[in-house]
Structure 1
């Protein structure tokens, strides 16, 4: 299914910018040899240990090495990407501290619990091992991502100016696109085999409770929401699933069993929402969000470049060039 598997921890801007921003190997960084053997870089007197670079470099190679061309030039490019990621993260941590931003223990615990919910313990441990992470390191990573998200919201997104004239111009240009198309809210029950799905569909048609069956039998991550996928519009699901969903109504509560790459699905109709178009005043928030989204990458880059220009950054280039990981 393309959409609405439970999104455990949505940091779309933060995650995408972290790995795309500041990773240009040609970037002009203040370079000097760092005299300490086990330090590969220093950012405003804060050391980045060689061991941290090694771990990130190995993870990068493990995940993306097979997709990258082989050769010395490519290895040096990857190293430049990795060291720039680490420098960017250190700059962000320092800036968040300078601004007094904090993540409470309760917020971190809630986020990590939500992230772990769909994963059986053994599967999650395998994921950590594949990324060269311990649970402690993973939790520290989650803390950084939360802090990074808060910093970017405060220092980048909330500072993008949007004028009333721009909102009005956007409304005139996109009037037909604003609002919602016809949508159906559904609950999803996913089984591993067709025979299981057929058996449970039979129970549903005899009056069984869909939420109870989802909790006890569904193999989909959305079981944490009792299978509720929210409103689904056309074009958001594979054709075979969309066809089943859009035949549902108050007089046709359950779909036939539908097969997808994720398993065998039964969908329950919950509600149909009619197509609607927004008036200019009602569309204001949606338009502002769209305009901010259009400008966020460029604004982020300018902000990050300012951080780098005002920082003292040293890289042990000799160590970086010869280091091969561990």
Structure 2
């Protein structure tokens, strides 16, 4: 029976060794997962289409982000949920363990990028700005193509996009972003139109949007917007031409080089409110919510004119005589 005792003893020793080896392996796995990801202060990580967790771990080892991928591959056997990483662009925080990094990729919490579409910008300006953003996919070549893609009735979609800061994932398209801006403008415009002051010489929400864009381009002083709106409303009620320079500038397009001339004022375009009656055929910019609300709720006034005051604001007048005096004061200030 000695041989049996010897066999049992050897089995016991082998079992002890196996258990010890298993404990060591488990400890090494846990140590590898708990180790800091050596990616520097912070790093952007792109998980490409077709890349799985094993190829990612190999890449991390080659970059020196982890000591050995072997223990981490074993870790995936023990914690298979860490293997389901998602394609995307990620921003890895400074303090991050390997397990935390893998968990981030499993959740698919991608890095967010942003772009600010400023109030009063034109869609042409915005498209140029978007085209230069390295994280956005450029698919729209012109305002007309944008109008067609979004099924906007007007071939010129000016005004139909809400100025704001928009966040997005890397690789999002310009169309996706502008669709969000368009839907937000539609929602806000309809809300303000429903709550508008009555009566107004405006036939629909689109005319409100058009007037708001003119207000936006006429003043950067928030407190002035309702008063500027009242001037235009008063002129529309009296069947007077709006005679506003920003519409002239929009109409001449690239021919405008920073100085409005007598020739510009005399050039008949669909947008020159010195030469046409009523509103322009489309908005001349993408207006802010404040300008839309001012157009819908203008101040009560008898003003028919305004001119720059020289301090960033405007001087408002009820008569042409008052206006001419205000213009002379402004020109005198310009000469000083």
TM-score, with normalisation over the residues of structure 2? 0.23
Structure number with greater Rg is 2
